[in-house]
Structure 1
């Protein structure tokens, strides 16, 4: 007799944000629903979703807007518990270790299996000291902690000696592998990410000011939205880059941007994983990336499938971009290697790993 698949709930802050964790929640939940799992997604706030969900998935919300969780702590715990009981959830996936602070007490006595899904790296708390306590809770009381890189898995084991099983499952491509790589016929460098300090777009703009001195006919497109838009626009204008730097905002279909680019650049000061890197690799784009401790340093190999430079070094970033712009043979070599590596992150491969974990 075939054992029934467990009922799953993904609990997250919101799905109404064009960001990596939210995109991955929708991607993995959809894939598991397609495989016959009963899946719900419980957003703490905002009933909207930036990402299409499989019709079989129930998406419910506790609050219309983001509340003060200090004041709404007990209401949040009670709301999660109601959802777990109503849908008879077997496995609760917390799409951020911070959610352990709510999810673990919410499920007391219900026999629910907990999986904490870490989207940062261990040594980054994103300015929230409570995240450190939440990680300790997850390491002690969750059945599994899923991390995005092998480097981070080793860091969890080294720092916490967790009772939980710490499992490395990388993010998958959120779209099918393209049938053809990007033609790379435009004079365009692409960068993608939220317009926030950690993405280092200020460094990239300073680098681009040097690139344009030698390559004035090339343009830089930075796709994304965020709180630093006005700061970055002011810097762009101060550097005299108004005609060859575009900030079109966030795009619902990012694949068009990759198709129309010739080089991809990641200028981040920090990355938990770097989903945009595997997206760019899937389109066969040569990559220039900062050597962030986790993410880029695990996903990329310098001079094999990318050129890597130090964080916060706009001169090195400019020189690497100029090298790829002026050396087509080197760019072609990196592009081929990147395209091959992208196959390791196909949705099918990663969903198989999730399926094994859930069993």
Structure 2
């Protein structure tokens, strides 16, 4: 249910609607967690996650079989780490390779091999797609790539809402995988201050992940059982955003931060940490968001209280954000992807 998988389905569906023959090949997991266009074929190399060290050559063979069987012309790697598999798997097939970076250049997610994979992608792929101009400049200055480095932001995965959210509920919404990078532990500590001063407000954190037990324990430790909840994965984002009044991003780092654009589309005022790379590029502090330092629960609490207590400021932030979100319409970015996959060799 992560963002890269969601964007794979979103862009794959859009390209299929534009007439491309699209297959999605997962390394494992035969079922997509996101709806797919009827013309999109989804397959998996393995039924369940293997040890890729032990199954390395079987993985290469599976990727190669898929490319030959489906006469693949363009291969998009939905993670630059996949270059370590895709490059040897497709030798001699003459494919148009596109590496799609969902993290930011200075973060390897604890896998030093990711840095090698990025170097290979910069040398051997026809294009590397990154999500922000900041990241594009990092690729250019650090690697001097042979590949064309293209900035294509993630699009809104749903049509622009016809009207902003009514913001009638006293709810602060956060959304993302329950992992340390998202900083939900910091948000809960900030919420202890907010809940003490604005007890009618609720914090709702949608998502699932490895930190759920620790976050649930923290809710109990801080005495927030009545004002903070972790209801799990959001299956109806339109309803969820529509019932919120404020959106908070508490991340320690982000590759892009699609949830910010989604919340902006609904006219929600944003409170965000100033983390690389998405928030720094997507947000204009004071215009469409209040931005605070990462890992600072006191600052986060102060910004949330400001937005809660100043409805005119909240409305202004929300209106500015909604105007910005319109630039991320799916149709517009799908056409850019269409041009990319059609690019001549």
Partner of 2:57: 74
Partner of 2:111: 128
Deviations 1:52-90 (A, max 9, x none): 111111111110111111111111111111111111111
**Pairs within 5 Å for 1:161-172:** 161-172=144-155
Distance in 2 separating the partners of 1:162 and 1:23 = 28
- Of residues 340, 343, 355 in structure 1, which corresponds to 2:323? 340
Tell me if 1:184 matches 2:187. Answer: no
Partner of 1:263: 246
Distance in 1 separating the partners of 2:139 and 2:308 = 39
Q: Secondary structure at the match of 1:292?
A: coil
Deviations 1:156-190 (A, max 9, x none): 00100000000000000011111111000110000
Partner of 1:143: 126
**Pairs within 5 Å for 1:230-309:** 230-309=213-292
Number of corresponding residues:
342
Q: Secondary structure at the match of 1:115?
A: strand
Partner of 1:202: 185
Partner of 1:108: 91
Distance in 2 separating the partners of 1:253 and 1:216 = 27
Partner of 1:86: 69
Q: Secondary structure at the match of 2:264?
A: helix
Distance in 1 separating the partners of 2:141 and 2:214 = 39
1:302 to partner: Cα distance: 0.2
Q: Secondary structure at the match of 2:25?
A: strand
Partner of 2:299: 316
Q: Secondary structure at the match of 1:47?
A: coil
Deviations 1:31-50 (A, max 9, x none): 00001001111111010111
Q: Secondary structure at the match of 1:332?
A: helix
1:210 to partner: Cα distance: 0.5
TM-score between both structures, scaled by the size of structure 2:
0.98
- Of residues 199, 205, 218 in structure 2, which corresponds to 1:216? 199
Partner of 1:12: none
Deviations 1:303-329 (A, max 9, x none): 010000000000000000000000000
Q: Secondary structure at the match of 1:103?
A: helix
Distance in 2 separating the partners of 1:333 and 1:103 = 47
Tell me if 1:329 matches 2:312. Answer: yes
Distance in 2 separating the partners of 1:43 and 1:176 = 27
Distance in 2 separating the partners of 1:224 and 1:60 = 25
Distance in 1 separating the partners of 2:262 and 2:254 = 15
Q: Secondary structure at the match of 1:38?
A: coil
Tell me if 1:44 matches 2:33. Answer: no
Distance in 1 separating the partners of 2:32 and 2:67 = 21
The range that moved more, 49-58 or 143-152, is 49-58
Partner of 2:45: 62
Runs of 5+ unmatched residues, structure 2: none
Tell me if 1:193 matches 2:193. Answer: no
